Protein backbone atom coordinates (compact mmCIF):
# COMPACT_ATOMS: atom_id res chain seq x y z
CA UNK A 1 0.00 0.00 0.00
CA UNK A 2 1.18 3.51 -0.88
CA UNK A 3 -0.46 6.31 1.12
CA UNK A 4 0.31 9.91 0.19
CA UNK A 5 -0.62 13.05 2.09
CA UNK A 6 -0.88 16.41 0.39
CA UNK A 7 -1.94 19.95 1.19
CA UNK A 8 -0.59 23.46 1.61
CA UNK A 9 2.51 24.50 3.53
CA UNK A 10 2.06 24.20 7.30
CA UNK A 11 -1.04 22.00 7.25
CA UNK A 12 0.53 19.09 9.14
CA UNK A 13 1.48 16.62 6.40
CA UNK A 14 4.74 15.49 7.99
CA UNK A 15 3.24 15.06 11.46
CA UNK A 16 0.42 12.92 10.09
CA UNK A 17 2.72 10.90 7.81
CA UNK A 18 5.11 10.17 10.66
CA UNK A 19 2.35 8.95 12.96
CA UNK A 20 0.65 6.89 10.26
CA UNK A 21 3.91 5.25 9.19
CA UNK A 22 4.63 4.24 12.79
CA UNK A 23 1.13 2.85 13.34
CA UNK A 24 0.95 1.01 10.01
CA UNK A 25 4.52 -0.35 10.14
CA UNK A 26 5.25 1.52 6.93
CA UNK A 27 8.31 3.19 5.44
CA UNK A 28 8.15 6.96 5.82
CA UNK A 29 9.06 9.02 2.74
CA UNK A 30 9.54 12.71 3.49
CA UNK A 31 9.26 15.50 0.95
CA UNK A 32 12.82 16.13 -0.28
CA UNK A 33 12.53 19.92 0.11
CA UNK A 34 15.79 20.05 2.08
CA UNK A 35 17.60 18.53 -0.91
CA UNK A 36 16.45 21.27 -3.29
CA UNK A 37 19.31 23.81 -3.32
CA UNK A 38 17.21 26.51 -5.02
CA UNK A 39 14.24 26.48 -2.64
CA UNK A 40 15.65 28.68 0.18
CA UNK A 41 16.46 31.44 -2.30
CA UNK A 42 12.96 31.26 -3.79
CA UNK A 43 11.41 31.65 -0.35
CA UNK A 44 13.67 34.58 0.54
CA UNK A 45 13.03 36.43 -2.69
CA UNK A 46 9.29 35.61 -2.63
CA UNK A 47 7.54 38.17 -4.86
CA UNK A 48 10.82 39.28 -6.48
CA UNK A 49 11.90 35.80 -7.55
CA UNK A 50 12.77 35.38 -11.20
CA UNK A 51 11.04 32.91 -13.48
CA UNK A 52 14.41 31.18 -14.01
CA UNK A 53 14.82 30.56 -10.27
CA UNK A 54 11.27 29.26 -9.91
CA UNK A 55 11.80 26.92 -12.86
CA UNK A 56 14.99 25.53 -11.30
CA UNK A 57 13.05 24.86 -8.09
CA UNK A 58 10.23 23.02 -9.85
CA UNK A 59 12.43 20.95 -12.20
CA UNK A 60 14.67 19.95 -9.29
CA UNK A 61 11.62 18.84 -7.32
CA UNK A 62 10.49 16.67 -10.23
CA UNK A 63 13.85 14.88 -10.29
CA UNK A 64 13.91 14.41 -6.51
CA UNK A 65 10.34 13.14 -6.36
CA UNK A 66 10.70 10.77 -9.31
CA UNK A 67 13.74 9.27 -7.57
CA UNK A 68 11.64 8.76 -4.43
CA UNK A 69 8.81 7.23 -6.45
CA UNK A 70 11.26 4.63 -7.74
CA UNK A 71 12.19 3.79 -4.15
CA UNK A 72 8.51 3.59 -3.26
CA UNK A 73 7.92 1.19 -6.15
CA UNK A 74 10.69 -1.10 -4.91
CA UNK A 75 9.24 -1.16 -1.39
CA UNK A 76 5.63 -1.75 -2.42
CA UNK A 77 6.63 -4.37 -5.01
CA UNK A 78 8.25 -6.30 -2.18
CA UNK A 79 5.00 -6.15 -0.20
CA UNK A 80 5.85 -3.20 2.01
CA UNK A 81 3.79 -0.15 2.92
CA UNK A 82 4.83 3.43 2.32
CA UNK A 83 3.47 6.68 3.76
CA UNK A 84 4.68 9.87 2.06
CA UNK A 85 4.09 13.44 3.19
CA UNK A 86 3.80 14.60 -0.42
CA UNK A 87 2.14 13.65 -3.70
CA UNK A 88 2.88 14.62 -7.28
CA UNK A 89 -0.36 16.61 -7.43
CA UNK A 90 1.30 19.32 -5.34
CA UNK A 91 3.99 19.72 -8.01
CA UNK A 92 1.36 21.12 -10.37
CA UNK A 93 -0.14 23.36 -7.71
CA UNK A 94 3.11 24.94 -6.56
CA UNK A 95 4.27 25.34 -10.17
CA UNK A 96 1.05 27.18 -11.00
CA UNK A 97 1.78 29.63 -8.17
CA UNK A 98 5.45 30.26 -8.96
CA UNK A 99 5.74 29.99 -12.74
CA UNK A 100 4.24 31.72 -15.78
CA UNK A 101 1.30 29.74 -17.18
CA UNK A 102 3.27 28.33 -20.13
CA UNK A 103 6.07 26.99 -17.92
CA UNK A 104 3.58 25.66 -15.36
CA UNK A 105 1.91 23.77 -18.21
CA UNK A 106 5.24 22.28 -19.27
CA UNK A 107 5.92 21.18 -15.70
CA UNK A 108 2.51 19.49 -15.60
CA UNK A 109 3.29 17.71 -18.90
CA UNK A 110 6.68 16.61 -17.59
CA UNK A 111 5.08 15.22 -14.43
CA UNK A 112 2.57 13.38 -16.60
CA UNK A 113 5.33 11.74 -18.61
CA UNK A 114 7.20 10.54 -15.54
CA UNK A 115 4.04 9.53 -13.70
CA UNK A 116 3.09 7.00 -16.39
CA UNK A 117 5.85 4.68 -15.18
CA UNK A 118 5.70 5.61 -11.49
CA UNK A 119 3.47 4.30 -8.72
CA UNK A 120 0.35 6.30 -7.89
CA UNK A 121 -0.92 6.45 -4.31
CA UNK A 122 -3.44 3.78 -3.40
CA UNK A 123 -4.83 6.32 -0.94
CA UNK A 124 -4.52 10.10 -1.12
CA UNK A 125 -5.20 12.12 2.02
CA UNK A 126 -5.85 15.82 1.44
CA UNK A 127 -5.37 18.27 4.29
CA UNK A 128 -6.51 21.89 4.30
CA UNK A 129 -6.78 24.56 6.99
CA UNK A 130 -7.67 28.24 7.34
CA UNK A 131 -4.78 30.48 6.21
CA UNK A 132 -4.41 31.96 9.70
CA UNK A 133 -3.84 28.45 11.09
CA UNK A 134 -1.30 27.69 8.37
CA UNK A 135 0.60 30.91 9.01
CA UNK A 136 0.67 30.25 12.77
CA UNK A 137 2.12 26.78 12.20
CA UNK A 138 4.70 28.01 9.69
CA UNK A 139 5.85 30.67 12.15
CA UNK A 140 5.84 28.16 15.01
CA UNK A 141 8.22 25.75 13.29
CA UNK A 142 10.65 28.59 12.64
CA UNK A 143 12.31 27.62 9.37
CA UNK A 144 14.52 30.50 8.25
CA UNK A 145 13.62 30.10 4.61
CA UNK A 146 9.88 30.49 5.37
CA UNK A 147 10.15 33.91 7.03
CA UNK A 148 8.73 35.68 3.96
CA UNK A 149 5.70 33.37 3.62
CA UNK A 150 2.52 35.45 3.87
CA UNK A 151 -1.05 34.61 4.82
CA UNK A 152 -2.11 35.61 1.30
CA UNK A 153 0.33 33.06 -0.21
CA UNK A 154 -1.02 30.36 2.08
CA UNK A 155 -4.64 31.29 1.31
CA UNK A 156 -3.98 30.92 -2.42
CA UNK A 157 -2.31 27.55 -1.88
CA UNK A 158 -5.10 26.30 0.38
CA UNK A 159 -7.73 27.29 -2.19
CA UNK A 160 -5.78 25.61 -4.99
CA UNK A 161 -5.54 22.34 -3.07
CA UNK A 162 -9.24 22.40 -2.18
CA UNK A 163 -10.14 22.78 -5.86
CA UNK A 164 -8.10 19.70 -6.83
CA UNK A 165 -9.48 17.34 -4.19
CA UNK A 166 -11.93 14.93 -5.80
CA UNK A 167 -14.44 12.67 -4.09
CA UNK A 168 -11.93 9.80 -3.82
CA UNK A 169 -9.53 11.90 -1.73
CA UNK A 170 -9.83 11.40 2.03
CA UNK A 171 -10.12 14.97 3.25
CA UNK A 172 -9.46 16.42 6.68
CA UNK A 173 -9.62 19.98 7.97
CA UNK A 174 -6.29 20.56 9.67
CA UNK A 175 -7.81 23.07 12.07
CA UNK A 176 -10.03 20.42 13.66
CA UNK A 177 -8.25 17.14 12.82
CA UNK A 178 -5.26 16.61 15.11
CA UNK A 179 -2.75 13.97 14.04
CA UNK A 180 -1.34 13.96 17.57
CA UNK A 181 -4.74 13.03 19.00
CA UNK A 182 -5.11 9.24 19.18
CA UNK A 183 -8.87 9.37 18.69
CA UNK A 184 -8.55 11.35 15.45
CA UNK A 185 -5.74 9.12 14.25
CA UNK A 186 -7.62 5.92 15.08
CA UNK A 187 -10.65 7.13 13.15
CA UNK A 188 -8.52 7.85 10.10
CA UNK A 189 -6.70 4.51 10.29
CA UNK A 190 -10.04 2.72 10.55
CA UNK A 191 -11.12 4.46 7.35
CA UNK A 192 -7.85 3.53 5.63
CA UNK A 193 -7.89 -0.12 6.66
CA UNK A 194 -11.63 -0.77 6.87
CA UNK A 195 -11.13 -1.88 10.46
CA UNK A 196 -13.15 -0.90 13.50
CA UNK A 197 -10.22 -1.60 15.84
CA UNK A 198 -7.07 -0.12 14.29
Of 134, 89, 154, 119, the residue nearest 27 (C-alpha): 119
Number of other residues whose CB lies within 10 A of the CB of residue 89: 18
Residues 116 and 180: their CA atoms lie apart, in Å, by 35
Q: Residue 149's pLDDT is what?
A: 83
CB 149 within 8 A of CB 105: no
> What values do phi and psi take at 109, rounded to 5?
-65, -40
Cα–Cα dist 63/78, whole Å: 23
CA atoms of 127 and 11, how far apart (whole Å): 6
Angle made by CA atoms 7, 142, 53, in degrees to the nearest 5: 65
Phi and psi at residue 180, to the nearest 5°: -90, -5
Report the distance separating Cα 21 and Cα 55, nearest Å.
Answer: 32
pLDDT at 46: 62
Residue 127, pLDDT score: 96
**Are the beta carbons of 90 and 128 closer than 8 angstroms?**
no
d(CA 196, CA 43): 43
Return averaged pLDDT per consecutive 10 residues of the chain, 198 residues in all. 94 96 97 90 70 91 95 96 95 90 93 89 95 91 80 91 91 93 95 66
The answer to whether residues 189 and 125 touch, using CB atoms and an 8 Å cutoff, is no
Can you give the pLDDT at residue 47?
60
Instruction: Give the pLDDT confidence score for residue 141 in this predicted structure.
Output: 85
* Cut 0.75: pTM above it: yes
Q: Are 44 and 148 in contact (CB under 8 A)?
A: yes
**Res 150: pLDDT:** 85
Q: Could you give the C-alpha distances from 78 to 1, 39, 72, 74, 84, in angstroms and in order?
A: 11, 33, 10, 6, 17
Domains and CATH numbers, the chain: 2-193 (3.40.50.300)
Q: What is the CA radius of gyration of the chain?
A: 16
Amino acid sequence: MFIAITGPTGVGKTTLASRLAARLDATLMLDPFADNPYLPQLYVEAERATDDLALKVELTFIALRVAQLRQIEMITSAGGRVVADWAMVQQHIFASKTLPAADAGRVAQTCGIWSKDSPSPDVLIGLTAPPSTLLHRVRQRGRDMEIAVSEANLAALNDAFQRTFTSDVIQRDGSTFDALNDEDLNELIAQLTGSENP
